[in-house]
Structure 1
Amino acid sequence: MRRAAKVAIGVGVAVVVGGAAAVAWGPGLYADWANRAAAEAPALEATGAPVPEETAGLDGVWVVADGSFAGYRVHEVLRGEDVTVTGRTEEVTGSVTIADGTLTDAEVVVDIESVRTDEPPRDAYFRGTVMEVGTYPTATFVLTEPAPLEPGQTAVELTGDLTIRDVTREVTVDAEVATTDDGAHVVGSVPLTFADYGVEAPALAFVRVDGEGSIEFSLRLEREG
């Protein structure tokens, strides 16, 4: 997850490349195209159900399954036009442990090199200059406080350590959880201040990236084994 934060920065800086497109198309047209390309925020699937009254049925170890993704969302101002940029990867691994209806352990690892946006040059800048994926190939979130699952609810607050490029910060994640026909689904976002991870948001002649963004995730969970 942490890498996702840096991704946000890379996205912004590499808009320098996108600036050429903005000049060619006109900033308004480019902003419209970029905003349409931005992914929707993660949401629980419509058929998901809240935490059951008998939470004991959820106890055990759950692993991140196919269909999961993580990434980032950042706001830019490009030649006076507001632009939202998102990056995504499905290269996400990890596990969650539930005991007595409480989420007691969790670790999620994201492969940063595989995060992609709609602009390959932006991605190359992010992987090389910003994230240095050859040295820091992954980002990690580790739960540090138990998180009770409330029967009949979907909301859950997760407190843990987010590590991006070897910098670890405690974060609070506003998440939602639901049971599904084949397991469980967890979605959420983590607000980020880039300077906290040693990243300076780009501010150039024609593009300015906000100093804050967010990491987003959608995790499909299935029972281990």
Structure 2
Amino acid sequence: MRWLVLSLALLMPALAQTFEVASGEARYRVKEELLQVGITDAVGTTKAVQGRVTLQGGRVSGEFVVDLRELRSDQAHRDNYLRQNTLQTDRFPTATFRPKEVKGLPNPLPQSGKASIQVVGDLTLRDVTQEVAWEGEAEFRGQEVRVFLKTEFPFERFRLVQPRVPVVLGVENRIRLEVDLLLRRR
């Protein structure tokens, strides 16, 4: 009987654990230089984030989807320009991330505490898919995990064209993406 209990205890970390997005926010940040304002961060956010992830041993699978049509900044003109030109949300309404690997995640997952993590996977923007590494932190709270991750890349990595409009003197060739997710165990 003792060997059965020991065998089950050893198998527990290998059992699959699935988490769904309970709430979340995705953001972009791009430095821009505006006429009569100077250098500032353009920030757009959306809470239209869905997804789930399954962890089993050292493997990860799942998908996260962000509705790009819901991105909002402090400027409606910027938002319209991004939707129509840069992101072309009429043809490509979502961004999708499919994780392939999570580094730094404790196994088994703790009931509390924090861990620095790196998540590697495939990000699809418009019709381009590239492998991207996200850096951040996971905070464990019983059946929930709050995850904050960020990554950055140049516009051309996803064949995006830097915005060029008269009131914008320049846009840095660096897009920073951030996600803040509350994942709940299913």
TM-score, scaled relative to structure 1: 0.67
Paired residues of 1:200 and 1:211 also in contact (CA < 8 A): no
Aligned to 1:210: 172
Q: Over residues 144-165 of structure 1, what are the superposed CA-to-partner deviations in whole Å (9 max), with x where a residue is unaligned?
A: 2354513765111111111100
Aligned to 2:73: 117
1:90-138 CA distance string (max 9 Å, x none): 00001111223x4511311000000100111211111112222121010
Residue 197 of structure 1 pairs with residue 158 of structure 2:
yes
Pairing of 1:18-37 with structure 2 (within 5 A): none
Q: Rg bigger for which structure?
A: 2
Structure 1: runs of 5 or more not aligned: 1-54
- Matched residue pairs, number? 168
- Give the SS at the match of 2:172: strand
**Whose relative contact order is higher, 1 or 2, with alpha carbons under 8 Å and at least 6 apart?**
1
For 1:90, the equivalent position in structure 2 comes to: 47
Tell me how far apart the structure 1 counterparts of residues 137 and 16 of structure 2 sit (CA, whole Å): 17
Moved over 6 A (4+): none
Paired residues for 1:134-173 under 5 Å? 134-150=90-106, 154-173=115-134
Shift of 1:172: 0.9
Is this contact kept in 1: 2:102–2:118, CA < 8 A?
no
TM-score normalised per structure 2? 0.81
The answer to which structure has the higher strand fraction is 2
Deviations 1:10-31 (A, max 9, x none): xxxxxxxxxxxxxxxxxxxxxx
Q: Distance in 1 between matches of 2:68 and 2:172?
A: 21
Aligned amino acid, residue 207 of structure 1: L
* RMSD of equivalent CA atoms: 2.3
Change (3 A) 1:188 1:58: farther
* Cα distance change on mapping 1:146 and 1:92 into 2, 3 Å: same
**Counterpart selection for 1:129 from 80, 85, 95:** 85
* Distance of aligned partners of 1:103 and 1:87 in 2 relative to their CA distance in 1, 3 Å threshold: farther
| Contact 1:191–1:213, Cα closer than 8 Å, also in 2 | yes
The alpha-carbon distance between structure 1 residues 86 and 65, as it changes in their structure 2 partners (threshold 3 A), is same
Amino acid at match of 2:139: A
The one-letter code matched in structure 1 to 2:151 is V
- Whole-angstrom distance in 2 between the partners of 1:133 and 1:186: 26
Which one of 132, 136, 141 corresponds to residue 175 of structure 1?
136
**One-letter code aligned to 1:170:** E
